[in-house]
Chains A and B, each alone.
Chain A
């Protein structure tokens, strides 16, 4: 009787451990917020960006993570003396957080661009802009993703 009880306990414990592993596995496979922070630090150095000057236009809910429209508008006169130098877009739970780096010149006239990107999961999209005077500004927006790009693309074999 006692040996049977022990077996059951062991079985329950293993089942519990298994559930934890299954729950954690996708998190391990994807990049996390900390990885995103380290990528941002590698890109921009050890700075604290100020919030503002950037407008992110993203759908609040994206049906498919394979193609999420993104529009970034930055408040800048775009003159030789005062313009946006570069903008980096990050998705903080993608396997590779950096999505694109856009480099503007004063010839651009307007610091605005739009494109489409892949998102693996519901997460925050972060834009960080470096201006010609060296100041760094940031903005972020949350996107709910119904079917992530990775859900259909993960290795399942």
Chain B
């Protein structure tokens, strides 16, 4: 199971724009590398990353092999109410990895 790390502030003021960070451990093989035998390593990448806040999609990325290994994203959401912040990564085979955090709006 890929290892993920997310950073969401625990609390925020209503209307505050907070920074979110999300990282997944993944090789993001770009298809141009070769192994020690000289055979090409096939492309193996995460294709989609979605961050939802309180059930609604807030930020989405379509990833390409041009992104570095262990793709990390830093972005912002506007905190309007207390709720879960859900993260979802989907790789090219359809494997889904999830992570979750929650934010308390005061």
Using CB atoms and an 8 Å cutoff, list the residues of chain A in contact with chain B. Answer: 66-68, 78, 91, 94-110, 112-118, 149-150, 153-157
How many residue-residue contacts, CB under 8 A, span A and B? 107
Report whether B56 and A102 are in contact in the complex, using a CB–CB cutoff of 8 Å. Answer: no
The CA-CA distance from A146 to B62 in the complex, in Å, is 28
Min Cβ gap A73→B in Å is 10
Report whether A96 and B64 are in contact in the complex, using a CB–CB cutoff of 8 Å. Answer: yes
Instruction: Say which residue of B30, B72, B74, B75 sits within 8 Å of A118 (CB atoms).
Output: B30
Chain B 55-106 interface residues, beta-carbon cutoff 8 Å to A: 56-69, 71-78, 80
Min Cβ gap B26→A in Å is 13
Sample of 17 A–B contacts (CB below 8 Å):
A66-B68, A68-B68, A94-B66, A98-B64, A99-B66, A100-B66, A102-B60, A107-B80, A108-B58, A112-B76, A113-B59, A113-B75, A114-B74, A115-B71, A115-B73, A118-B30, A155-B40
Looking at chain B's contact residues, the main secondary structure is strand
Min Cβ gap B18→A in Å is 8
Chain A CB within 10 Å — which of B56, B63, B76 has the most? B76
Contacts of B34 in A (CB 8 A): 155-157
- Contact size class for B? 20 to 34
Using CB atoms and an 8 Å cutoff, list the residues of chain B in contact with chain A. Answer: 17-18, 30, 32-34, 38, 40, 53, 56-69, 71-78, 80
Instruction: Say which residue of A67, A112, A150 sits within 8 Å of B75 (CB atoms).
Output: A112
The CA-CA distance from A80 to B15 in the complex, in Å, is 15
Closest A-chain residue to B39, C-beta based? A157
Looking at chain A's contact residues, the main secondary structure is mixed
Closest A-chain residue to B57, C-beta based? A105
Min Cβ gap A32→B in Å is 15
The CA-CA distance from A117 to B28 in the complex, in Å, is 11
Report whether A103 and B64 are in contact in the complex, using a CB–CB cutoff of 8 Å. Answer: no
The 10 residue pairs across chains A and B that have the minimum distance between CB atoms? A109-B78, A157-B38, A99-B66, A109-B17, A107-B58, A110-B76, A101-B62, A103-B60, A116-B68, A113-B75
Contacts of B62 in A (CB 8 A): 100-103
The CA-CA distance from A101 to B60 in the complex, in Å, is 8
